[in-house]
Each structure stands twice: as structure tokens, then as C-alpha cells.
Structure 1
Amino acid sequence: MKNISAEIVAVGTELLLGQIANTNAQWISEKLASIGINVHHHSVVGDNLKRVENQFRVSGDRSDVLIITGGLGPTEDDLTREAFQQITGMGIVEHEPSMRKIEAYFQNQIADMTPNNRKQARVFTGADVIENQTGMAPGMIVSFERKTWIFLPGVPREMKRMMTDNVLPHLQYLSGADTVIKSSMLRFIGIGESSLEHELSDLIQCQTNPTIAPLAQNEGVAIRLTAKADNDEEATAVIDRTKQEILDRVGGYYYGDDDQTLAEKVLELLQQTNKSVGAAESLTGGQFTDKLISVPGASNVCRGGIVCYDTKVKERVLHVKPELIQQYGTVSKECALSMAENVCSLLDADIGISFTGVAGPDYSEGHPPGTVFIAVYTTSGKQQAEKYTFQGDRQTIRKRTVLKGYELLYNLLK
């Protein structure tokens, strides 16, 4: 297998302005890794002819395969073709099959085609043209000075179809790939990244195949295992062996693999145990319930939620006794437990969970921002109330509170 270095260049000022995220580069990198091609650089350049030209020169000097996304549209700021022509001198011609497709599109839409749409059918002389099955502008594969240049539309659905159907098979042939690279994510909750790394330090230091990479994530921490093998089955076996070694040590914190979220895992456990849950949310404002009902199948286990931000709502809707609030305050274990028990009864759920605290930026009831109480109550008689102190701004505190609530539920259900 040839050792090929690849670079992904995204063209578009909207990416630099933060108006859209460069998800194309992430997706392409993942697909290239699966066929053993290493991506050494991600680059983003705005819609400026000179800057695009300069970026192409830099990228062409350092990479073997250049995948360019964007800048193939009909407008004046779509400059990818022009920039590449500047550095190569290649001719550009109109690709008749693509032009016929563009004309047919406007005829079917009963709309006039403006002249600038002809630009989308322009391709480099001698290019291997890739038909756009889901849009207008075709893609291209071009060889120049022993480098492979691949031009793709920036629209994700168009790019992905071309990559899957045409580009990946071409690159696999080009590299003589006989090696499979496969990755798997192991997800953990309730343990920090440094603690996880400490528990696995000897495995990490001696890693060869698979590689072991601890990662901080939005939901807990994760370990990415990446294996190389002759085929998918062998790669899976390599990963599974190391995964078991890891779980033998820290399996108590493990909740799932790959893209599984903690909310999905909690819903799965609720279904397995035939339990339902209802939530009373003060500072979280419905985020816990929203996260759960975003998962398909939630209607079977989620009774609903009550957003009880105001003290009067806690008293009149949730029936938290006024004297309890007067004695302990709304930011307290006692109030949290009462909220959890009462929402369990009001919503006819097996489990009630509640959230109360101070998201900030100001103190409340003498408590600093980040002071949070979470309580869980079950009809079987279990109850738990915990105090936490979270750091961060208002939104970060709320997100961490929701995540901690899912952690409590996960530990209760598992």
C-alpha cells in the first residue's frame, strides 16, 4: 500500500465567518481513514481569487491528494475553477451532459435559466468528470504534476454521494489499499479524563495496534480505539480484545459505544426495566425532558415534565409545601426531594427527577452560581438528593446539570 498524504481544502467565506460548520472535512476524513489514507491538513479559504490560488499552491506542495469542496456554483464568488486554472494553465470547457441536465432542471421547474448557471457545467480539459446525481455542478478528478486533485460541490448531500460512488473507489485503487483502518468509541460517565487515563496508563504507554486515545466529550469522556488489519473482521477482533481489557478496569463507568448518547442509554434501560419517568425542572427549564423526547421511543417511558421556575409554580402546581420552602428555601435538598416525589405522583410515573439551583449570574437565596440540587424519587421507595457545584457560565451550568441528572438515572437503572 502506498503511503498517501491527503489534504481537504474547503472554499467559502461563510465557513470563515462561522455561518456554517465545516462538517464536510470531518466526514471526508473519517471515510479516508477507513481506506487507510491519512489526512494531514484541513484548510479553509474564503472566496477570494488570490487567496484561493495561494492556498492551492501551498496545499499542492505538501500533499499527494487534494480534495477541494465548494466554489463550483454559478455566482461570481465561486472561484475554485479559476484559481486552479491560474496555477496550472489548464483549459476549461463546457461539459455537455452536465449542461443538458442543468437545462432540464430549469425546464422541469418551469423557470428561466439565468446565463450564469452555465458556469456550473464547466470542467477542466481531460478531467475525469463525476456526475452530480443530486445537484447541478459536476465533480472532477484531475492529475497535475503527479498530484491528484478532486473537486467536489460544498453541498453535503452532493459531496457525500460523489465521495461514496466515485472518489473513494478511485483513491482505494490509487493507494493499492489492502489495509482496513477501523475506529470505535467507548463512552464513559462519572470519571474524568485524567482519572481514566491514569487507570489505563500502562495500556496507553504500550499501545501499538489498536491505538488508544482518551478524549474529553460533551457527555463525559471517551476512548477512541483505532485498529489496522487486513480486513474488517480482523480489525473488529483487535478492537474487541483491547476493549475488554479496558472494561475489566473501568467498566463501571462505561455506558455505550460510538454515537450512543447517555439519554439513549437511559431510555434503553427504562424500556428494559419497564419504568417511566417524569421531571420537575427549575433551573434546567425543560432541557432534561427535551433531551429525552428527542430520542425515538421516548413516548413509551417519558410521562412528561413540569417547568417550575417560579416559586409559586413549585407551590401551586407541584404542591411543594410553602412552609418547607420558607424553612429550607427552593435551593435545597429538601425542596428537590419534594419536587421529585410530587412530580412522580402528579405524572403517574415510576421515577421522578427534579432540578433546582442557581444558574447565575447572581446569587440566589445566599447560594453562589453553580449551586445545584438534583433529586430522584421512585415509587419503590428509593430516594436520593445530591448537591453539586458546577463551574461555567449560565448555559454551561444548566447543561452540566442535565448531564448529571442523566448520570444519576443511569446509575439507578443499571
Structure 2
Amino acid sequence: MKSAILSVGTELLFGQITNTNTVFLSQQLNLLGFDVMYHYTVGDNPERLEDMIALAFKDCDLILTTGGLGPTQDDLTKEIVCRALDDHMVLHQPSMEKLESYFKKQNRQMTENNRKQAYMPSRAVVFDNDAGTAPGFALEKDGKQIICMPGPPREMTRMFERSVLPYLEKKSESTIYYRMIRTFGIGESMLETKLLPLIDEQTDPTLATYAKEGECCLRIASKRATKEEAKEAVDAMLEKVKAIIGEYIYSCDNEELVDVVSRKLLDRGLSISSAESCTGGMFAAALTSVSGISAVFDRSLVTYSNNAKMAELGVKEETLTAYGAVSEETAREMAEGLHRVSGSDICVSVTGIAGPEGGTAEKPVGLVYIGAHYQERTICRKIQMRNVNRNWNRNFAVLSMLDVVNKLI
């Protein structure tokens, strides 16, 4: 079934709030096997809303709307949908009784405009809102169907999961199963190039690459009659993908790299410490965002200056003089010095030029060295980033540190 998502609210057009509803609904519809063809956003304007409904129905059989179901004068989604599908409004007594009960429990007077929320199209299938006051509904005519839900994400999500999802499951003729593969260390164009033999021959499952900040994702999806059949097809394709790009894959379950690394550290009982220069503690911040990491994370030293590198980590002055702070030699001594003071199983260091100033022809902005001491040996990885901006450079350096640790263990 071809579907569209129609978000209603002038505040969305003004950028006053982020439209997370569309992301959630797109994911859910795809899992049900519905093809999401369009995303629309329209303000609280009845004429434009009616035009959008007519436009969406030219190509789609199903429209999901969010917003415009409240008690105020600009909440007109219900009335416009009712008109578009040739119905009329009637009082839905169960919704009215719930409204009255809600205000009584709150010890508040129900204003007259709240009664508006209890009126529904006469043919509607009404969905209860147990997280708010505005019910939702489904309305159908001549094979075209609209499902209307409230705008607040908490209310919409609860209504979808408890009422709309079971309703739609009965109408789905197939199901989609997919896995999101996360990779690091390979660009999107190279990822696609390596996978072209699979992509060129794809029918079902399908493969699609996505660029994410500092990394790439691969979506493997199959649309079959049952979830079991779709899963079997996706897993078989995943094995083919692993044979080609396995060295770059860090998760087959859409996990963040910091979560993968943290789980491995915790599972193996490996302690870790970090010495950071250009990232200024961002690696430590990433690790400590994971609950329970205190069992293995010992310390982080932000040794930004040369003096700090010498005083806290024992980096030799002659090393800094001969090679500079941004060098393989300094990164190695930082990691080894950190091991001496912390005794952690894994000691990782980073030094680099985040920019926008500070680069030279020999050491341009985006140059980073990552050192790591583990099992009585020290390694160093040199990275030359493409210098998007200072924040991007620093974030990518943190991801690179996590990648080094992940590959070590």
C-alpha cells in the first residue's frame, strides 16, 4: 500500500520544533510493508491542508496525519479530513465522557472549546488517547484512508503502538524486515563500489547506503509474506556483505560505535584510560555517556599543552622539540606514559590539529595521531581528515579512537 505522512502545524514550518513524528512513522510503516512515498508538512491553514490531502491521494491510498486535533480554533485537521472524505461530524459519547472525567479528576473546569475534541466523523474508527485529551481516528472512503493522530510525540507514539499499529497490521499483505549495518573507515562511494556486484543484481533483498557523520551505514531489507521469510533472506545477504566489507563493519544491529566498544570492554573486564589533546575530553565524555562504564573506565587526562604532556604523562622534552606535539612519537609516549600512571589494560591517546588555525604544509589541519598501549605493545595510527570544520574534526577523531580500541580488542 502506498502511503504518505502529512504533518500539520505552523510551528513545524517555522522550525520551532523538530518533526520527530515523521521519522518514527516512516520506520513503522516500512516495517509493516507499506511503501512511504511522500512526507508533507502544512501549516494550520484549512485550504492548504485540503489541497495537500487531495495531492497525496493522487498517488497514495493511505495518509497518516499528525497534529491539529486539539481544542483551539486553529486545530482543524479533523474537520478538513471529514470534508475531504465526504462525511459529517457527530458527538462521540465515549470521548466526551472521558474528557469530562479527565477534567473532573484534575479538579479543573472544562472550557467549552474542549468539547470540540469529542466530535468525530460519523464513519470514523476512533482511537483512544491515553496520554492526552485529543482522540485519533481512521476514516475511509472508496479505498482511500486517512488516519489522524495528535501532534505531541508522546501522545502520537502511544496511540500508534496501542491502537493504530494493530489496525494497520490487519491491512498489511506483507512485512519488511531489515538490518542496518554500521561501518567505519570507508567512504560511501567506496562502500557502494565494493558492493556493486550485489547491488547490480539486487531484487529482494535490497541494499542501500547512507552517509552518517564520520561513518557509513548499509540497509539490507526484504519484503516477504512473513517476517521469518524476510529475515532469512536478509541474513543470507548479510553473509555476502560481510565477505566483501567485513573489515569495516562494527555493528550489524544499528548500534553506535561507543556502545559496541563499551560492551566489549565490560564483557572482557578490560580497564581503559585516555590521554587527550585536540579532543579535550570528548572521548571520555563519549564513554561516560554509557551506563555502567565506571566498572572499566579509570581516568582521562586532558593534556592540551606541551607542559601538561610532560608533567602528567612523562613525554620527553626532546621528543616534543624534535617531532612536535602532533607526531607519532608524541602520541606513543602519551599512551605509554598513561599506562605508567594508570596501569589500565588499554591506554589510548590522541594529538592533532583540529583547526581552523594551526596547520602547516607539513602538518595540515585535520592531521591526527592516535596512540594505544595494550598487551605490552604500543601502536599508532595516523589520520588525515578532510577538514570539514573544527567540530567535525574533533568528533571524527573520537570515532577514530573508538575504532582503534575496537580493533585492538
TM over 0.5: yes
Contact kept? 2:369, 2:380, Cα under 8 Å: no
Cα distance in 2 for partners of 1:322, 1:37 equals 64
What whole-Å deviation, never above 9, does each CA across 1:106-162 have from its counterpart, x for those lacking one? 333334444433333332223111111222100011123431111001122322232
The share of aligned pairs that are identical, in percent, is 38
The answer on 1:46 being equivalent to 2:55 is no
Could you say which residue in structure 2 is the equivalent of 1:199? Answer: 194
CA contact (8 A) 2:336 2:378 kept: no
Q: Cα distance, 1:398 vs. partner?
A: 0.9
- 1:18 maps to 2:8: no
Q: What's the CA shift string for 1:272-331, capped at 9, x where partnerless?
A: 443111111222122212222222332222113222334444344444444543443322
Letter in 1 for 2:406: Y
Q: What is the CA–CA distance in structure 1 between the aligned matches of 2:97 and 2:303, rounded to whole Å?
A: 60
2:89 equivalent in structure 1: 92
Match of 1:248 in 2: 243
1:383 corresponds to: 379
Contact 1:93–1:123 (CA under 8 A) maintained in structure 2: yes
The residue correspondences of 1:85-234 to structure 2 (distance < 5 A) are 85=82, 87-88=84-85, 90-175=87-172, 177=173, 179-218=174-213, 220-234=215-229
| One-letter amino acid matched to 2:187 | G
Aligned to 1:305: 300
The alignment yields a C-alpha RMSD, in angstroms, of 2.4
| CA separation of 1:342 and 1:122: change in aligned 2, threshold 3 A | farther
Query: Does residue 278 in structure 1 map to residue 273 in structure 2?
Result: yes
1:331 and 1:365 in contact (8 A); partners too: no
Distance 1:127 1:354, change over 3 A: same
Query: Which residue identity lines up with residue 75 of structure 2 in the other structure?
Result: D
Which has the higher mean CA deviation after the structures are superposed, 72-81 or 142-151? 72-81
Indicate whether 1:407 and 2:399 are aligned: no
SS at the partner of 2:274? strand
Give, in whole Å, the separation in 1 of the partners of 2:262 and 2:85: 56
**Residues 313 and 48 of structure 1: is their aligned pair in 2 closer, same or farther, counting only changes over 3 Å?**
farther
Structure 1 residues 238, 141: closer, same or farther in 2, change over 3 A?
A: same
Q: Pick one of 343, 346, 349 that aligns with 2:341.
A: 346
3-state secondary structure, aligned to 1:304: strand
- Within the alignment, does 1:267 sit opposite 2:281 as a pair? no
Counterpart for residue 357 of structure 2: 362
Quick check: 2:117–2:133 contact (8 Å CA) kept in 1? yes
CA separation of 1:345 and 1:126: change in aligned 2, threshold 3 A: same
For residues 46 and 302 of structure 1, what CA distance do their matches in structure 2 show? 49
Partner SS for 1:200: helix
Between the aligned partners of 2:5 and 2:227, the Cα distance in structure 1 is: 26
Instruction: Kindly provide the CA deviation profile for residues 209-249 of structure 1, in whole angstroms up to 9, marking residues without a partner as x.
Output: 21122222235222211112232222221111111122122
Which position in structure 1 is the counterpart of 2:289?
Answer: 294
- Give SS of 1:268's match: helix
Tell me which residue corresponds to 1:60: 57
Equivalent residues of 1:341, 1:378 under 8 A apart: no
Instruction: Give the superposition deviation at 1:85.
Output: 4.5
Where structure 1 has 5 or more consecutive residues not aligned to the other structure, the ranges are: none
Q: Distance in 2 between matches of 1:336 and 1:13?
A: 52
Return the alpha-carbon distance in structure 2 between the equivalents of residues 365 and 310 of structure 1.
19
Tell me which amino acid in the other structure corresponds to 1:24: N
Any idea what SS the aligned residue of 2:329 has? Answer: helix
